[in-house]
Structure 1
Amino acid sequence: MSRRVLVLAHTGREESLKAAWEACAQLHDSGIVPVMQESELRDMERFFGQLSQPVEILHDHVQLPDVELVMVLGGDGTILRAAELVREVDVPLLGVNLGHVGFLAESERADLAQTVEWIARRDYTVEERMTIDVQVWVRGQKIWHTWALNEAAIEKGNRERMIEVVTEVDERPLTSFGCDGVVVATPTGSTAYAFSAGGPVVWPEVEALVIVPISAHALFAKPLVVSPRSRLAVEVLTRTGAQGVLWCDGRRSVDLPPGARVEVTKSATPVRLARTHQTPFSARLVRKFELPIHGWRGPVPQSETIHTGPIPIVRTPRPRPPLQLASGDQPEDDTDPATAK
């Protein structure tokens, strides 16, 4: 049975379409059938001409469950779009960064040929990234239900007016404040919007939820890290009548009238990301953010096991007890007459 890899590209960028053209040719040369969406294939051929190798069309020639892997050419936004497409069919994503930071991507544009070789050899592993389930309630009615890989961001609807919110953890109110918004993020999203708002960086293997206020007018409005089993909620208060808007992964949005309630829990369906090499997350942070590490010397090498010998026992002589003299007796003089002055 033929192996198939879906190639997704950022159709608004010529560089992305060129990378897709090269990827399809290299996949075919490696014995893998390239698959594309029809609109993206037409855009690519309009720029660079028709491929000499056949490309199958998604939904016409092949269905998503028949695809082994999705090769995403673009930045984090393109990978988030791909996650929407494949989340329900358990197909992993492998990102090739053509954007700026591209924190979700596994490799860079210069490594495109090497990435195809890794795919051909099945030299990759798959890790699961936690997602969140998001519900919106207004006057007791659920008006919206979606999910997010990075974050759910409650923001003010009007630039000139902040919104007032109250946060809730496990069905208990925590604090209320005026702000520009509140971000509820996953560990994957901790390096995205939540990071820009001053939240902590959470390692991907740590299962947790992060709450980060945006420009809050309050004494206690610090980022919080809570259990993934917690149920979080943010309510838009009605005191000022200010409206909000909810954005999930920066791609899906809904208006939040005063009194709206946003509930966030861990989702049962993760997103699967393919990794071609086991780069530690700390190394990825250094590379993506160009962090200074000059002067680092590294751990001390343990060349051999050092055995500790027996501990010597030091005996301290006991002090001589004082003489017990009878009544009227005088103590003897121990002074040497030869040295006495």
Structure 2
Amino acid sequence: MAERHILVVSHTGRPETLDAAATVCRALVDGGVVPVVPAEDVALVREHLPGIRVETLDEVQLDGLELVIVLGGDGTILRAAELARRSSAPLLGINLGHVGFLAEAERESLEESVRRALDRDYQIEERMTLAVRVKVDTQVVYETWALNEATVEKASRERMLEVVIEVDGRPLSSFGCDGVVMSTPTGSTAYSFSAGGPIVWPSLDAMLLVPLSAHALFARPLVVGPESVFAVEVLDRTQGTGVLWCDGRRTWDLPRGARVIVRRSGTPVRVARLHQGPFTDRLVKKFNLPVTGWRGPADGEGRAS
């Protein structure tokens, strides 16, 4: 029988998270699964696991991974998505951070979550991602992807970024701003939300564009269909330069005249789901929204089918 491999990604800067990673790795070994960790984490993890077999991501084929267990907050989940990008293994997030919007379980259900991972007792949901390309003139100078958002920002605090927004090959508006966020539904509760964008249910295929502190009469958030294409051009009249950030992890400097094109990627991120509750409940829980006084429909009308 072929060995099972599960990648464990944790926030190694926190002792309690390392302890949780050690607990997970021991449980995986006891369940007959080989735990795998990123190469840069292996020394710290092995300090907590003397005598336990732990392999590194460099030693295992990505297509041989069954699952990725992520211990931390949303930032750690974004790191795990980057590490496993060329794998079809789904991500199972266990929140050890603050909000943890992308996480499926909380700290107190760690043991149960690992047991269900060992039993393959989960469902898989696909989350839309963005394909991001940077061009200068006709030359493609950089390509990457994003699960949450791609953001074009000013590189200097004291300089405004001058941009023109394009949708589906047609110009929409030009203005000075701090930046422009282009987001997936998954990212609508992240940077886009902080910038005043709408929350979009993850079941909806759509892309969002949200200007950051734009000096314009028309600079409203936009929501377009999944086949649309956004482009942001850094205008020559910009005094400084811009910078592209994808999920806060991958970055590229944007000179004047650079053009950032964002469309739906053909490679989604797969997420392991332990619970199939409504997204509304997740919003209420994560944001601690007040719902006191709600009585609900007496005849059931209004419930999702």
Q: TM-score, normalised by structure 2?
A: 0.94
| 2-structure distance, mates of 1:38, 1:134 | 27
Identity, in percent, stands at 61
Read off the aligned partner of 1:31 and give its amino acid letter: G
Residue 303 (structure 2) aligns with: none
Equivalent pairs, count? 299
Aligned-residue Cα RMSD (Å) equals 1.4
Offset from partner CA, 1:8-64 (integer Å, 9 cap, x none): 111222121111001111222333332223442320233x351x543333332x322
Range with greater deviation from structure 2 (166-175 or 135-144):
135-144
The 1:21–1:215 alpha-carbon spacing in structure 2 relative to 1, beyond 3 Å, is same
The equivalences for 1:157-196 within 5 A come to: 157-196=155-194
| 1-structure distance, mates of 2:69, 2:231 | 35
Residue 21 (structure 1) aligns with: 22
| 1-structure distance, mates of 2:33, 2:296 | 42
Residue 100 (structure 1) aligns with: 98
Q: Is the 8 A contact 1:87 1:270 kept in 2?
A: no
Q: Is the 8 A contact 1:74 1:95 kept in 2?
A: yes
Select the residue among 83, 87, 90 that pairs with 1:89.
87
The equivalences for 1:138-157 within 5 A come to: 138-157=136-155
2:241 is the counterpart of 1:243: yes
Residue 56 (structure 2) aligns with: 57
2:117 is the counterpart of 1:116: no
Structure showing greater radius of gyration is 1
Read off the aligned partner of 1:71 and give its amino acid letter: I
Runs of at least 5 residues in structure 1 that lack an aligned partner in the other structure: 303-341
| 2-structure distance, mates of 1:170, 1:293 | 40
Q: Is the 8 A contact 2:22 2:49 kept in 1?
A: no
Residue 282 (structure 1) aligns with: 280
Select the residue among 64, 67, 76 that pairs with 2:65.
67
| 2-structure distance, mates of 1:36, 1:142 | 34
Q: TM-score, normalised by structure 1?
A: 0.84
Partner of 1:117: helix, strand, or coil?
Answer: helix
